[in-house]
Amino acid sequence: MQLHRSERADALVDALGDVLGDGLPDPLETEVVSVPTRGVERWLTQRLSGRLGTSAGRQDGVCANVDFPFPGRLIGGAIAAASGFEADADPWLPDRAVWPLLDLLDECLTDPWLATVAGHLGAGAAGEPRRSRRFSTARHITDLYARYAVHRPAMELLYN
């Protein structure tokens, strides 16, 4: 693994082109370059295709056999490979955690500690709580916790 940093992305493209230009020993092995957005992926692909596999004096190359995962997917895959657990089976992924949280919301909606969320869902008002807001609220909460895990890992340790 090689880590390159710079304040400007265009300064990194030349170094990345040098690394990718050398190639891997196995031509069927995929290079991995982590990117923050799909726009950066497209930009890198376009810039690298002007460098990789070009004819002399021309920019007619191609950027192929390069995987551009987001950092979370890259780290999740590395942890899954090291631990033996499937990355998609993590119960703390927002897609999975939203369902137990929905059950908890239904069970505890009248408890005092959940008063703010109950007010948002319209519980206690005339009629039923706004059931249409339940899923989006639960999903928003699980997304917040997922961001805490990424940006404030020390906080996550407090809750585990």
Structure tokens at 11: 């300064």
CA distances to 117, 120, 141, 147 from 133, in Å: 10, 8, 12, 21
pLDDT(133) > 90: no
User: What residue ranges define each of the domains in the chain, with the CATH number in brackets?
Assistant: 9-88 (3.40.50.10930), 91-159 (no CATH)
Which of the two residues, 148 and 113, has the higher pLDDT score?
113
Pairing label, strands 31-32, 66-67: parallel
Q: What is the pLDDT of residues 47-84, one digit of tens each?
A: 888 878 777 777 678 888 899 998 878 887 887 888 77
Q: In sequence order, which residues have a C-beta less than 8 Å from that of residue 49 and are 6 or more positions away?
A: 59, 61, 62, 63
